[in-house]
């Protein structure tokens, strides 16, 4: 069956970095995209970006202000999201999710997220 299993909860100090992993199984990793979405406590969903698992092509939300980097390791079917210069408002549950990859009028596009990881709580606190 299709699974996305994320790494465990993290506690970080302001200014530090965190790297969340998302190990996938049950599908051909290189044929899909991985999106990252976060949810602050009691708040809605915030889209962070997506990456094509094979090529590494990616798009990021402007709000990340260049602090985030998404990568994939095709040898282990694992995706990663690193966030640097952490602030207290980065405290959230971070989700990875699988999406389709297709070509659209603007180039390469990603499709809606049909399978999700269980979420990783990242707490930023001094």
Partner 1 sequence: DIVLTQSPGTLSLSPGERATLSCRASQSVSSSFLAWYQQKPGQAPRLLIYGASTRATGIPGRFSGSGSGTDFTLTISRLEPEDFAVYYCQQYGSWGTFGQGTRLEIK
Binds partner 1 by CB under 8 A, chosen from 44, 65, 75, 103: 44
Q: Does 64 bind partner 1 (CB under 8 A)?
A: no
Closest distance between partner 1 and the C-beta of residue 79, in Å? 15
Decide whether 60 or 80 has the Cβ nearer to partner 1.
60
Q: Does 23 bind partner 1 (CB under 8 A)?
A: no
How is the beta sheet containing 18-25 ordered, strand by strand? 3-6, 18-25, 78-83, 68-73
DSSP β-ladder status, 120-124 and 10-12: parallel
Binds partner 1 by CB under 8 A, chosen from 32, 99, 101, 120: 99
- d(CA 79, CA 50) in angstroms, rounded, equals 10
Q: Nearest Cα to 8, choosing from 123, 124, 121, 125?
A: 121
Closest distance between partner 1 and the C-beta of residue 74, in Å? 23
């Amino acid at each position: 069956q299709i699974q996305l299993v994320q790494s465990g909860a993290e506690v970080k100090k302001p200014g530090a970095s965190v790297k969340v992993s998302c190990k996938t199984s049950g599908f051909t990793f290189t044929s899909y995209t991985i999106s990252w979405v976060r949810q602050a406590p009691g708040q809605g969903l915030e889209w962070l970006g997506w990456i094509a698992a094979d090529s590494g092509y990616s798009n990021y939300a402007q709000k990340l202000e260049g602090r985030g980097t998404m990568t994939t390791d095709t040898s282990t079917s694992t995706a990663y999201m690193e966030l640097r210069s952490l602030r207290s408002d980065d405290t959230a549950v971070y989700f990875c999710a699988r999406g389709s990859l297709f070509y659209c009028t603007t180039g390469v596009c990603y499709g809606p997220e049909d399978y999700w990881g269980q979420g990783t709580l990242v707490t930023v606190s001094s």
